[in-house]
Amino acid sequence: MSIDHDRLFKELLQTFFKEFMELFFPKVSAIIDYSHVKFLSEELFSGLVGGTTERADLVVETLLLEEEGTEATEPEHKALIIIHLEPQSYFQEDFPERMFLYSGKLYEKYRRRILPIAVFSHSRQLKEPPRFGWAFPFLKVVTFRYYAIQLRKKSWRRFVKTDNPVAAALLSSMGYNKKERVAVKFEFLRMMTRLRLDPARMRLLTVFFETYLQLTNSENERLLKKIDRTNHKEEAAIMEWMTSWEKMGLEKGLKQGVEQGREEGREEGILKSKEEIAAKMLAKGLDPAMVEEMTGLSADRINKLKESVH
Q: How confident is the model over 193-232, as pLDDT tens digits?
A: 999 888 889 889 999 999 999 999 899 889 988 888 888 8
- More confident of the two residues 75 and 134: 134
pLDDT-derived band at 127, boundaries 50, 70, 90: very high
The pLDDT of 131-152, averaged and rounded, is 96
Whole-angstrom CA distances from 241 to 69, 87, 190, 194 are 41, 29, 9, 10
Q: How confident is the model over 41-50, as pLDDT tens digits?
A: 766 555 555 5
Task: Specify burial of residue 112 (Cβ count, 10 A radius: 0-12, 13-18, 19+).
Answer: middle
- More confident of the two residues 53 and 286: 286
Whole-angstrom distance, CA of residue 212 vs CA of residue 171: 9
Task: State the pLDDT at residue 240.
Answer: 77
pLDDT-derived band at 14, boundaries 50, 70, 90: very high
- More confident of the two residues 2 and 86: 86
Q: Which residues of 262-271 are buried (b: 16+ CB within 10 A; e: fewer)?
A: eeeebeebbb
The pLDDT of 73-84, averaged and rounded, is 75
pLDDT-derived band at 259, boundaries 50, 70, 90: very low
CA angle at 15 for the pair 12 and 20, rounded to the nearest 5°: 70
The pLDDT of 13-34, averaged and rounded, is 96
Whole-angstrom distance, CA of residue 183 vs CA of residue 213: 12
Give the pairing of strands 43-46 and 53-56.
antiparallel
Does pLDDT of 256 surpass 80? no
The pLDDT of 140-168, averaged and rounded, is 96
Q: What percent of the chain has pLDDT over 90?
A: 53
For residues 170 and 188, is the Cβ–Cβ distance under 8 A?
Answer: no
Most confident of 36-40, 48-52, 285-289: 36-40
CA-nearest of 147, 206, 150 to 173 is 150
